């Protein structure tokens, strides 16, 4: 009975085929871009990296143009009043994270729209 560490003729053929494909790919890259200076360590690291058999299914995030405006900390005690303005929601939420005042909130304010 073979052990997991046995290296039979089928495994050797598969290894030789994959190594040959990897070497061909590396040589093709070197010939396509002769100005690139790659060391043997770079070539070995590239060959040792696992190949992706299928294209990645990851989706790139879609950037949606939002309405122009700013994130602000707004106090609504005697009517709305802007305390501080931030360029991102994350920055506004971080600045307001220790808030204990229920009249103080983080809101998105569009340019040209009055506070209500």
Indicate the pTM of the whole model: 0.41
Q: What is the mean pLDDT of residues 104-115?
A: 86
The pLDDT, as a whole number, for residue 3 is: 58
Give the pLDDT band of residue 13 (cuts 50, 70, 90).
Answer: confident
CA–CA gap between residue 97 and residue 90 (Å, rounded) = 10
- For 52-76, write each residue's pLDDT tens digit: 555 555 665 555 555 688 899 999 8
The pLDDT, as a whole number, for residue 61 is: 57
CA–CA gap between residue 38 and residue 32 (Å, rounded) = 13
Dihedral sign, Cα of residue 46, residue 50, residue 53, residue 56: negative
- Pick 19 or 51 by higher pLDDT: 19
């Amino acid at each position: 009975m073979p052990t997991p560490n046995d290296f039979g003729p089928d495994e050797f053929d598969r290894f030789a085929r994959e190594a040959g494909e990897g070497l061909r790919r590396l040589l093709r890259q070197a010939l396509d871009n002769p100005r690139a200076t790659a060391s043997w360590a770079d070539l070995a690291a590239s060959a040792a990296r696992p190949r992706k058999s299928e294209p990645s299914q990851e989706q790139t995030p879609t950037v949606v143009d939002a309405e122009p405006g700013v994130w602000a900390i707004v106090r609504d005690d005697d009517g709305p009043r802007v305390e501080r303005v931030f360029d991102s929601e994350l920055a506004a939420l971080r600045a307001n994270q220790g808030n204990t005042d229920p009249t103080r909130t983080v809101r998105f304010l569009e340019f040209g729209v009055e506070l209500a």
